[in-house]
Amino acid sequence: MTTNEPVIEVTDLRRVYDGGYEAVRGVSFEVGRGELFALLGTNGAGKTSTVELIEGLARPASGRVRVLGHDPYTERAAVRPHIGLMLQEGGFPSELTVSETVRMWAGCTTGARPEGEALSLVGLTRRAGVRVKQLSGGEKRRLDLALALLGRPEVLFLDEPTTGLDAEGRQETWELVRELRATGTTVLLTTHYLEEAEGLADRLAILHAGQIAVSGTPAEVTASQPSRISFELPAGYFPGDLPPLDSLGVTGHEIVGRVLRLHTNELQRAATGLLTWAERTGVELRGLDVRSGSLEEAFLRIARDVSEQDARMARAVQGGTAPKNTARPDKEHVA
Ligand SMILES: Nc1ncnc2c1ncn2[C@@H]1O[C@H](COP(=O)(O)OP(=O)(O)OP(=O)(O)O)[C@@H](O)[C@H]1O
């Protein structure tokens, strides 16, 4: 039930924390009505910093955000009644019961769902009388979600909604999110679970150091990744004994111990060439593993870039040549 009408528009967004650290560095994307857009990224990539700007919780250093056609920071009153927020840390009074918490929240929400409906949506009906401090981490996440859904929002922001949930709870939340999306709710999701993004998102973006490294539908992002073939080099053989790698359509390779890993955009050609060579030579390729590009591969490739950059940065800092505003600070100031 998606349309092209953008409900969220983000253009060249930047966020700079006190102290000058630029956590969001020119992020742009759009989310259409009824679409589910997922933001992925390593720890500290800038997901929460970005989403907070879109939620109107902070003012961008520069760039433009529109939610339902309004600036969520300066026109908060126009946007707030139509959005539901599930933040990473809900922070409810711990002495209240689940039921009291929902009623308190409903008191501040226009057109709130009845308490029973909100609790049943997230499977907390039987915990209504329990104090918040006695809930498990996963149950607190469900309560967060119930509160985000209270006002039947047109736009739902879910910041790591299934962190702390067990496998069953995660499946139930995914089912609920699918139902909401099917009825036209627009969803912006941040998550660390790749299968969550792959299974739920219409489109996704992987953030890296405050910028979008790759974006598209899950299928497009996956297809943009090279496939991989790995195996143990047979005893007494070296990479130079294989057919020339470029003749197999191999674009890159690495060797770790005796394991050779080949990257290719032509999986069938590379696998056929390699297996034909092994057959002709009479060797066994032990541990042979052939896999198409995946979202995980895209994520790991970006994460590897991050670690390499961090290592370069550490060396530059030791040598006194680190560029300004690129070292990641500890979280201490709110912009
Ligand atoms: N209040 C703050 N003051 C200074 N720096 C901050 C602040 N909040 C976040 N940062 C820094 O900004 C960068 C991005 O943080 P952010 O929380 O947006 O990342 P994230 O992608 O949501 O990470 P995670 O997956 O760990 O939640 C990090 O380097 C973080 O240390």
Which residue of 15, 18, 21 sits with most ligand 1 atoms within 8 Å of its CB, as the best mutation to test the pocket? 21
We report the CATH number of the domain holding residue 275 as 3.30.70
- 67-125 pLDDT per residue, tens: 999 999 999 999 999 999 887 766 777 889 999 999 998 888 888 899 999 999 888 99
How many other CB atoms are found less than 10 A from the CB of residue 263? 20
- Distance between Cα 264 and ligand 1 center (Å): 35
What pTM was computed for the model?
Answer: 0.80
The pLDDT score that the predictor gives to residue 117 is 93
The pLDDT score that the predictor gives to residue 3 is 55
Q: How does residue 306 score in pLDDT terms, banded at 50, 70 and 90?
A: low
- What region does 226 belong to: left with phi over 0, alpha with psi -120 to 50, or beta? beta
- Inter-residue contact 2 to 32 (CB < 8 Å): yes
Q: Tell whether ligand 1 has an atom less than 6 A from the beta carbon of residue 329.
A: yes
- Taking the C-alpha atoms of residue 126 and residue 297, their distance in angstroms, rounded to an integer, is 41
Q: How does residue 37 score in pLDDT terms, banded at 50, 70 and 90?
A: very high
Q: Tell whether ligand 1 has an atom less than 6 A from the beta carbon of residue 15.
A: no
Which of 33-37, 85-89, 322-326 is predicted least confidently?
Answer: 322-326
190 and 87 in a common domain: yes
Q: 315 pLDDT exceeds 80?
A: no
- Distance between Cα 14 and ligand 1 center (Å): 13
- Distance between Cα 317 and ligand 1 center (Å): 21
58 and 159 in a common domain: yes
Q: Is residue 327 situated within a structural domain?
A: no
Which residue minimizes the CA distance to atom 28 of ligand 1?
A: 44
Which residue of 47, 89, 162 sits with most ligand 1 atoms within 8 Å of its CB, as the best mutation to test the pocket? 47
The pLDDT score that the predictor gives to residue 187 is 96
Q: 329 pLDDT exceeds 80?
A: no
Range of the domain at 287: 226-291
The pLDDT score that the predictor gives to residue 47 is 93
Mean pLDDT value of segment 217-227: 87
- Inter-residue contact 88 to 51 (CB < 8 Å): no
Helices 137-149, 98-107: inter-axial angle, 10-degree rounding: 20
The pLDDT score that the predictor gives to residue 124 is 92
We report the CATH number of the domain holding residue 17 as 3.40.50.300
- Amino acid, res. 236: G
Q: Tell whether ligand 1 has an atom less than 6 A from the beta carbon of residue 205.
A: no
